[in-house]
Amino acid sequence: MSLTVAVIAALYLAPLFLNAPLTDPNEGLHAAVSQEMVERGDLIVPRFLGRAFLDKPILFFWTQAASLRLFGMTTAAARLPGVLFALLGIATTGWLARTLIAEDEDDAPGDAATVGWVASVCYATMVLPFLLAQAPVHDIALVPFTNVALGLLWRAERRPESAARDRFVAALSLGLSILTKGLEGVVIVGVAYVLYLIVRRAVTWRLVGQGVIVLAVATLVAAPWYLAMNAREPGYLWYYFFERHLLGFATDTQRHSGQPWWFYFPYVVGGGLPWLVLVRSRRLLLWTWLGGAVLLLSLSGSKAVTYVLPALPAVAILAAASAPVMRVWRGVAATAAVIYAVALIGAGPFVARTHSSRDLAEYFNASGKLPSRIFVFNQRLSFVYYLRPELRAQLRQDQVRSISVEALAAMEPFPHGAVVAVPADLAAGGLPHIPPLADAKHHVAGRYLVVVP
């Protein structure tokens, strides 16, 4: 087992040592937000270019800001918290598997400790968790909290002597999940456990009351930051919980909308490989967890592949609790690890460079000054993370803007001293047809062209 742990740790830590820049659209942007928190000394309001960043809660930013403060404004420091959360997700998946098997060994193919180890390996070598760990986002941090909360709520029903403590720790975990991704973790855990109780016909008023207390404690854990944030940015609570959560679920008016109802099924099937095809276990809690999460997310108007990540530990544990996996897990895991290692070392840095704006930042760093305005085509503005500190200090809120082809073509007159950063692949498609850019000078900046009208 020690060799397996070493291989998995090496796989997940490898991005810290490869020359792979932070990627667009999210990884570099979130790093820039955390960077600004450190430089401003403001740990309440996450900001980007001085403007409050309202789309994500604070916990992941706190851990990233702490890493940047301790280790410097490097790519590795920005990635370290996400990698650690990914490893914590692997560890808690194993813990949850051991907990379920230790309390109920009806269909377990092996002892609880072995099933726990295998579940950790399954989750670590599953396609989607591994891929998302290469450019960690907030959902990575959500997984360990939902694992712990669900496991302790389930165990509390079976261990009266430790039930109060288990529910309290579950509430703390849910509170931290609210600080990580709002109500997503609470809803996924709640749907999984409530469906489990309904199918077993085990719903009682006592359990309902205990659930209310757990939610109240979780709310108290998260409330201080949310209230402080709303005091600093009035209207934040309405925006985040009504517009982003309620409208995001009930309508297609929010970001990540417009996807078909079956959006998640290919990602669960493909992202659950190689282990999903070997699942034979019928363990009820794991199926209500996976099925409830996929159903709920499929009903939502807003859909993104990262949202389904907290449900995938269920696949890993279902696989580990299946007899066929216990016979072949070493070979399957070793094959997956070799494939991932070759892909990571051989293609990882190249893929990252083609999805990064680090070269754009280095262009401005070399020039020693910033233009009066910088328009970036259809990109989140993550190159800010790589600017030299003295250049970042000069930035104004509206100095850097993402812009579409249509908006640029309609701009009249074009601002004096402004430049346009265009991805090279887009430039090949017809920039001369945009009046401000026709016959303009341009400079190569990695995968960008910096056009000076």
pLDDT digits (tens, 9 = 90+) for 143-177: 999 999 999 999 999 999 999 999 999 999 999 99
Residues 198 and 318 in one domain: yes
- Quick one: average pLDDT of 48-64? 95
324, 351, 378: which is the final residue of a domain? Answer: 351
Q: Are residues 391 and 325 in the same domain?
A: no
CB neighbour class for 404 (10 Å; exposed up to 12, middle 13-18, buried from 19): exposed
Query: Do residue 37 and residue 126 come from a single domain?
Result: yes
Same domain for 133 and 215: yes
17-20, Cβ contacts within 8 angstroms, sequence gap of 24 or more? 17/76, 18/344, 18/345, 18/348, 18/349, 19/349, 20/75, 20/348, 20/349, 20/351, 20/352, 20/353
Claim to verify: residue 411 and residue 445 sit in the same structural domain: yes
Q: What is the dihedral of CA 330, 335, 337, 342, to 10 degrees?
A: 160
| Parallel/antiparallel/unpaired status of strands 418-423 and 373-377 | parallel
Same domain for 433 and 367: yes
Note the pTM of the prediction, 2 decimals. Answer: 0.94
Q: Which two tokens stand for residue 405?
A: 């082809």
Alpha carbon of 412 to those of 155, 238, 398, 446: distances in Å? 65, 36, 17, 29
Domain final residue, candidates 351, 379, 409 = 351
Q: Rounded CA gap, 97 and 318, in Å?
A: 9
Give the model confidence (pLDDT) of 390-443 as tens digits: 999 888 888 888 887 777 777 777 788 888 888 777 666 556 566 666 667 778
Q: Which of 4, 3, 16, 5 lies closest to 344 in space, CA to CA?
A: 16
Contacts of 256 (CB under 8 A, 6+ apart): 248, 302, 303, 304
State what percent of residues in the chain have pLDDT above 90: 65
**Residue 4 — very low, low, confident or very high, per pLDDT cuts 50/70/90?**
confident
Q: Report the number of distinct structural domains present in the chain.
A: 2
How far does CA 400 lie from the centroid of its chain? 25
Measure the CA–CA gap between 308 and 59, rounded to whole angstroms.
19
Residue 80 burial (CB count, 10 A): 22
Mean pLDDT of the chain, nearest integer: 90
Average pLDDT (56-82) is 97
Residues 328 and 382 in one domain: no
Q: 95 vs 113, which has greater pLDDT?
A: 95
| Same domain for 310 and 368 | no
Which residue range(s) make up the domain with 57? 2-351
Does one domain contain both 309 and 227?
yes
Distance CA 156, CA 154 (A): 6
Q: Check whether residue 155 and residue 304 sit in a common domain.
A: yes
Q: Which one of 295, 318, 351 terminates a domain?
A: 351
